[in-house]
Amino acid sequence: MSKPNASFTRNANSLLALRDLLLLIIRQPAPFAENDMLKKALKSQAGIAALEISFEDDGQVKQKERLSVNTLKSHSANVFEQGFEGLDALRIAALDKIEEFNERLNASNKRTKVGLSQRTLELEEQLQYQQRINMVLLQGISHAIGTLRTIRHDVKPLLLEKRAKDQVDALLALLTINPPPFNAPSFDTRAQVNDVQDDIKGNVAELDDYRK
């Protein structure tokens, strides 16, 4: 039986190194997740054939040499029990593991870094918006207080009715700048507003009767 020549041995060792590399990636994808050259090579049969890489596995430095696709396929049948199909299945599995790891890493980064930073910016914008709303509401309430103080000393019924109605309408309009559900009074409050307006109208009508 003739001994295998040096070329066959070199190619066989390179195939064994490739198999060990793929198995290592499947077990531990993290160290390879940012190796763009390796990820690109794993995407095709021609890619892993042309791949040249050194790596450490079980305390040993192993070397995968550059091969042609034909050499990769023909020698795989002699080196591996499952032939080239088995080796190609490992390639696909290794690529899947790296992609899964990177997806999990990106999701984690979004929750811990990018996502939290974005959420912080959103909350700051919401706070500034609410502060502007509060300032407008404060100005509206201050104006209403001033008007109510004037109404206390107003003896003209028609003017009293108009000013009271204007202030109720203004305050209701101011509420609409708030986000729901704080942009409108409750049903009880609306009923009270209507009652007040009815009372004003009723009082004005009675006063008009006295003035006849």
Q: Please identify every stretch of the chain with a pLDDT value under 50, giving residue numbers as ranges.
A: 1, 187-193, 196-197, 199-212
pLDDT digits (tens, 9 = 90+) for 122-140: 778 778 878 877 887 788 7
pLDDT digits (tens, 9 = 90+) for 40-50: 999 999 999 99
Could you give the CA distance from residue 141 to residue 167 in angstroms, rounded to a whole number? 9
Q: In this structure, how many other beta carbons lie within 10 angstroms of the beta carbon of residue 167?
A: 18
What is the model's pLDDT at position 106?
75
What is the model's pLDDT at position 153?
67
Could you give the CA distance from residue 39 to residue 34 in angstroms, rounded to a whole number? 8
What is the model's pLDDT at position 211?
37
What is the model's pLDDT at position 81?
79
Helical ranges in the chain per DSSP H: 6-27, 36-42, 45-50, 69-79, 83-109, 115-152, 157-175, 187-211
What is the model's pLDDT at position 70?
93
CA dihedral over 166, 142, 155, 195, signed as positive or negative: positive
- How far out from the chain centre does Cα 179 lie? 23
What is the model's pLDDT at position 141?
81
Q: What is the CA radius of gyration of the chain?
A: 40
Taking the CA atoms of residue 73, residue 74, residue 75 and residue 77 in that order, the dihedral angle to the nearest 10 degrees is 90
Long-range contacts made by residues 100-106, C-beta under 8 angstroms, separation at least 24? 100/29, 101/29, 101/30, 101/33, 102/33, 105/33
What is the model's pLDDT at position 78?
84
Angle at CA 204, nearest 5°, toward 203 and 207?
85
CB 95 within 8 A of CB 42: yes
Residue owning tokens 């990177």: 102
Could you give the CA distance from residue 123 to residue 76 in angstroms, rounded to a whole number? 58
Taking the CA atoms of residue 73, residue 79, residue 85 and residue 89 in that order, the dihedral angle to the nearest 10 degrees is -110
Q: Model-level pTM?
A: 0.51
